[in-house]
Chains A and B, each alone.
Chain A
Amino acid sequence: MSLLKEPDLGTPAKAGPATVSLEVDGLPVTVPEGTSVMRAAALSGVEIPKLCATDNLEPFGSCRLCLVEIDGRKGTPASCTTPVAEGMKVHTQTSRLEKLRQGVMELYISDHPLDCLTCAANGDCELQDMSGAVGLRQVRYGYEGENHLDQPKDTSNPYFDFDPSKCIACSRCVRACGEVQGTFALTIEGRGFESKVSAGAGELFMDSECVSCGACVQACPTATLEERTVVDLGMPSRSVLTTCAYCGVGCSFKAELRGDELVRMVPYKDGGANEGHSCVKGRFAFGYATHPDRVLSPMVRESIDDEWREVDWDTAIGYVAEKMREVQARHGVGAIGGITSSRCTDEEVYVVQKMVRAAFGNNNVDTCARVCHSPTGYGLKQTFGTSAGTQDFRSVAKADVIVVIGANPTDAHPVFASRMKRRLREGAQLIVIDPRRIDLVRSPHVEAAHHLRLAPGTNVAVVNAFAHVIVTEGLADRSFVDERCEEYDEWAAFIAGPENSPEATEEISGVPAAQLRAAARLYASAGNAAIYYGLGVTEHSQGSTMVIGMANLAMATGNIGRDGVGVNPLRGQNNVQGSCDMGSFPHELPGYRHIADDAVRSVFEDVWGRELLAEPGLRIPNMFDAAIDGSFRALFVQGEDIAQSDPNTKHVTAALRAMDLVVVQDLFINETARFAHVFLPGTSFLEKDGTFINAERRINRVRPVMAPKTGKHEWEIVCEIAQAMGYPMEYSHPREIMAEIAALTPTFAGVSFEKLDELGSVQWPCNDNAPEGTPIMHVDGFVRGKGRFVPTPFVPTRERSTRRFPLILTTGRILSQYNVGAQTRRTGNVAWHPEDVLEIHPHDAEVRGIADGDRVTLSSRVGETSLHAVLSDRMPVGVVYTTFHHPVTGANVVTTENSDWATNCPEYKVTAVQVGLKTAGAAVDHAEQAVPVLAD
C-alpha cells in the first residue's frame, strides 16, 4: 500500500437527523444541521484552504485562510466557524478571496524559515501545501524586521522535537492537547507578536505535564512538532494498517514505512477503538521490535546451568516434541501443559490451546489472564451469561455518571481515558473507588463528585453497601428487574441485611457512610450510569465476588443493554479478551463452553480428529504447585514472563526449577527464560498476521509490517511441534485458523479475515443474528436468558497487616511502561520510569525515618526487595504502592500465594509488608539477582 492519507474535512462531523441543503461553488450538497461550511464544501468535493482547522478539533477561526463569500452576507466569513444554512450559496474561489489568502500566507511565510528542501516535513507540510493552494508567488517582506526564526529548539522529549521557529501559532497543538487528549499541558503564551506555544509555564516538554501522547505532533501543520524518526529517517512512503500491541484499548494505527524501515505509527481515524488518538506507548514505543536484545534463532540447553546453544528450527522443534513425549511416557499424559499469552494473536493463542488439548492430550492450558481478569470471566458468566464487557468504548459519551473502580485509566488505558475525560468535561459526574488518589480524581477540568478511598481488600463491602442503599431506599429499577432478571428477591433480602449498610461497612472499608450513600444515590438516579473497572477489582481474594457485585448493581438499577451504561472490564494487555475467547482456560473450549459439555466437545473432536478429555486441566498456580509436588514436569510458555509477573517469585522459580522441560517462546531472554531449556524466538506485533480482540470485544486485524525476523510465524512453530508429536495440525495462512475458529465458535461464526478487511473491525458476537457484530450486549435479553442476581457476602482476605508487617502493599502500572516492561524498557520510555519506586505516605515515611528518594527495603512474609521511596499523599496512610515493570526490583518477590477463591487470580492488591531504610548488606536484594535492561 502506498502512503495512506486520510481525508481531512476540516471540522468534526455533526450528528442528528435534521439536514440542510446548500450550494458550494454551484455544487449542491446536503449535510446534517450544524455542519460547518468548510466541511460541507469538502463533502461536495471542494477543498477550501485552511491551516488552523482539522476535523478532529472544534473550529477555531484563527488562520483567516478559509474565508469564503456567501450570497446575501457581508464580508468574508471563516468557513470553519460558519454553520451551513438552508439555501446558502457559498463561493470559495473569487479574486477577492484569492488576494486575501495570498496576503495572509505572505505574512505567515515572512516569519517562517525558507528551508523547505532540507526541512523534515518537506512533502508533508500544510503550510507548504497552502502556499501552493493560494498561489503565493512572492513575499514582499524581508527578514530584517522582528521574527521568530532564532527561537531555540526543545529536544527534551525522546520522541519528538519542538522547533518554535516554524510555528505559525495556529493553536492546533494546544487544542489537540485539550480536546483530544484532555491533558491541557500546552498553551499559547503571550499576546500578539509575542504569542508562542508553551508547554506548561514556559517549561521544556519533558518538565511539563505533557504525557507524550503525540496528539500535538499529529495536529501540527508544519515541522514545529516533528517525530524524531522522521527527522532521522525521512518521510515515509507507504502505510500498513494494523493494531497496537499494548493495552486492551486496541488502537488502530497506520504503520508508516520508508522501504522496510518503520518510520512512525500514526493513529488511524477510522479505528473503532481510538478514532485517531493514541498514547505514548502505541505511537512512539515500538523500538523494542528491532532492539539488539531480540533473540532471532532458536536455542536449546540440556540444563538451565548450561550455556545456550543456537540450533536450527527443525532441531529445536524436534527437541521440544521428543522431550515432551519423554516426560509423558515417564510421568503421565497430564505431566505437561502450556500457557498462552495475551500479547499474541487470536490465531497464535488458538493453536497453542489446540496443541495442548489435541497433541498433548490434556487440558493443562491456561493464559496470563489467569493473573488479571479471570474473575471477570467467572463473575460476568454467573450473572450475565458470558465473559465480556457490555459496551463499546463510544458508549461512554452517553454516560451521565461514570464509576471507576480499581482502575487507573489515564495510566493504563490512556486513549479510553481521553474519551472518558471528554465526557466528564461535558458534565457527566464521576465516582472513583480506589485507595489511591488517581489522576482522574482531580485533573484539569475534571473532578470526581466522590472519591471513595476504601481500604485495600474491602471492595465487596463497598459494593454491597452501594446495593444496600439502592434496595433499602427504593432506588431499584423494578420494571427492568422484573422483566429481565431472576433471583432478585433472594438477593435483595440478603443485601438489605444490616451488615451491608454503609454504616456497618464504614468500619471495614473506611468509607464514610454519608459519602457512600450519596455516591450510591448518584449512581442509581443517574439516567445512564456506567461502571468501568480494572485489576483493582479482580486481583483480590474476592475478585470474582466483586465482579458479581458490580453486575448486581447494574441489573438492579437497569443500567444494562443500551448506550451509556454497563459493566466494563478494562483489560490489561492487548489481547486479554481474545486469549480468553480462544479457549485458553483449562475448563473451557473456545467461546466459553465447558469442556465437560459432551455436545460441545464432540463438535471439536469431529473437527480436530482427537478425543478430548472431559475434565478441566491445571490453572497456572496449580501448575506451579503440581511442579513442586512432582506431578507436572514440562511447560510451554508463550510470550509470558511468569517469573516476573506472577506472585511469590520464589515459589514460581522453585516450580520452574523443578521441571524437566521449560520451553519459552518470546522476543527476549526474559526472567522465565533463565529457567528454560528451549528458547523459541517469537515475533513482534509488526511481524504478526492475525487478529487481536480488545476490551470492547472488537476484533481488529494485525497486519504484518515486515517479515518475521525469526524466519517463522509463531503459529507455524506451534503447529510444527504438534506435528512432531504426532498430531497433524496444518494451516497455510492464519485466515484458515480464523475460519476454523468461526466454524467451531457460535459467537465468531460470522468472522473472517475478508469481513474484517471489508468492515475494518467487528465486535463479537458476530454471526447470522448480528452479521456486522454487536457493539452493545444484552440489549433485549441477557446471554444466559435472564440476568441472575447472586448474593455477595463480604469475606475479609486472610492477608492482614500485623505488627511485623503493618503496611498494605498494592501494585499497579504507570503510563509509560507496559506489564513486565520487556517491551517498554527497551524504548525511550525509560526516560519517564527508569525504575520501579515505592510510593509511601509522608506520615508512614516519617515514622520510619525515610526521606524522599531514600532506598528502602520492602519485605513481606514471603520475600524482600529494595527500591527507592517516593513520598506521596496520593497514598492513604498505611498503604504503599509500587509497579512491577522492572525485574531489577521484582515487586512480585513480596506478593503472596493468596488468590481469588473462584479463579485463583492472585491477590496482588493486598500484601502485608514492612518498609524500612535500606542499610548496606541488610537485606537480600532481588535487584542484585536480575540483569537490568536499558533502552537501546
Chain B
Amino acid sequence: MGAHEESPQTRMANEIAVQFRHQPADKAATAIAAHIRQFWDPRMRADLLHRAATAPASFDPLALAAARLLSPAGRESPATR
C-alpha cells in the first residue's frame, strides 16, 4: 500500500503522531490519544483500533501507542484539554 493509499484513519493518526515526536514517548502517546478522543467520531476511533490491531506495521509507533491507550483496555480518559 502506497503512502497515499492508506486508510484515512491510519494516515491521520500517523500525521498527528509526527507532530508529537518532540515529546517523550509516553507523554506523546497520551497527547495523541487525547487529541483523537477529543476530535474523532467514534466510528473513526473504532476503525483506528481495528487497523492498529490488524495492520500495526502501517502505523507510526507513537500512533500505535496512542491507539492502545484508546482501546477499551487502555488508560485514556475522555477528559479534554
Chain A residues in contact with chain B, CB under 8 A? 334, 363-364, 494, 541-542, 545, 586-587, 594, 596-597, 614-619, 621-622, 625-626, 631, 791, 793, 795, 798, 861, 896-897, 899, 901-904
Contacts and interface: CB of A to CB of B under 8 A. Distances in A.
B39 A616 contact: yes
B12 A904 contact: yes
Q: Which 6 pairs of residues, A with B, have the shortest CB-CB distance?
A: A625-B8, A901-B15, A793-B22, A618-B41, A594-B80, A615-B42
A902 B41 contact: no
Given A596-B80, A901-B19, A861 B4 contact: yes
A616 B35 contact: no
Interface in B1-39: 3-4, 8, 11-12, 15-16, 18-19, 21-22, 35, 38-39
Contacts of B53: none
Secondary structure of the A contact surface, majority rule: loop
B41 A617 contact: yes
Given A791-B22, A798-B3, A334 B12 contact: no
Contacts of B16: 901-902
A597 B44 CA distance: 20
B3 A616 contact: no
A622 B4 contact: no
A619 B11 CA distance: 15
Nearest to B81: A382
A416 to B, nearest CB: 31
A545 B42 CA distance: 25
Contacts of A334: 41-43
Given A594-B80, A626-B43, A897-B4, A587 B19 contact: no
Among B35, B40, B43, max chain A CB count under 10 A is at B43
B74 interface: no
Contacts of B43: 334, 618, 626, 631
B78 interface: yes
Nearest to B8: A625
Contacts of B42: 334, 615
Nearest to B19: A901
Contact of B38 (A542, A587, A896): A587
A387 to B, nearest CB: 14
Contacts of A618: 41, 43-44
Among A597, A615, A896, A899, max chain B CB count under 10 A is at A615
A622 B44 contact: yes
Contact of B80 (A363, A597, A625): A597
A896 B22 CA distance: 27
A432 B46 CA distance: 44
Given A334-B43, A494-B22, A622-B41, 20 more contacts: A334-B42, A586-B41, A587-B39, A594-B80, A596-B78, A596-B80, A615-B41, A616-B40, A618-B44, A622-B40, A626-B43, A626-B44, A631-B43, A791-B22, A793-B22, A798-B15, A861-B4, A897-B11, A901-B16, A902-B19
Contacts of B78: 596, 614
A691 B41 CA distance: 30
B45 to A, nearest CB: 9
A594 B38 CA distance: 8
A810 to B, nearest CB: 20
Nearest to A586: B41
Nearest to B78: A596
B5 to A, nearest CB: 10
Contacts of A793: 19, 21-22
Contacts of B40: 616, 622
B79 to A, nearest CB: 8
Nearest to B18: A795
A431 to B, nearest CB: 27
B58 to A, nearest CB: 15
Among A586, A621, A902, max chain B CB count under 10 A is at A902
21 contacts: A334-B43, A494-B22, A541-B15, A545-B19, A587-B38, A596-B38, A596-B78, A596-B80, A616-B38, A616-B39, A618-B41, A618-B43, A619-B41, A621-B8, A626-B44, A791-B22, A793-B21, A901-B15, A902-B19, A902-B35, A902-B39
Given A494-B22, A597-B80, A861-B4, A364 B15 contact: no
Nearest to A632: B43
B21 to A, nearest CB: 7
A861 B5 CA distance: 12
A4 to B, nearest CB: 47
A897 B6 CA distance: 11
A861 B40 CA distance: 27
A796 B12 CA distance: 15
A552 to B, nearest CB: 14
A135 B38 CA distance: 74
Nearest to B20: A793
A332 to B, nearest CB: 9
Nearest to B36: A616
Contacts of B4: 861, 896-897
A616 B80 CA distance: 12
Contacts of B12: 899, 901, 904
Contacts of A545: 19
A625 B44 CA distance: 10
Contacts of A586: 41
Nearest to A793: B22
B48 to A, nearest CB: 12
Nearest to A798: B3
Among B3, B4, B18, B41, max chain A CB count under 10 A is at B41
Contacts of A541: 15
Contacts of B21: 793, 795
Interface string B40-81: 111110000000000000000000000000000000001010
Contacts of B38: 587, 594, 596, 616
Contacts of B15: 541, 798, 899, 901
A458 B7 CA distance: 26
Among A541, A597, A621, A901, max chain B CB count under 10 A is at A901
A795 B19 contact: yes
Contacts of A791: 22
Contacts of B35: 902
Nearest to B3: A798
A617 B40 CA distance: 7
Contacts of B11: 897
A586 B38 CA distance: 10
A916 to B, nearest CB: 22
Contacts of A626: 41, 43-44
Nearest to A382: B81
A883 B11 CA distance: 28
A621 to B, nearest CB: 8
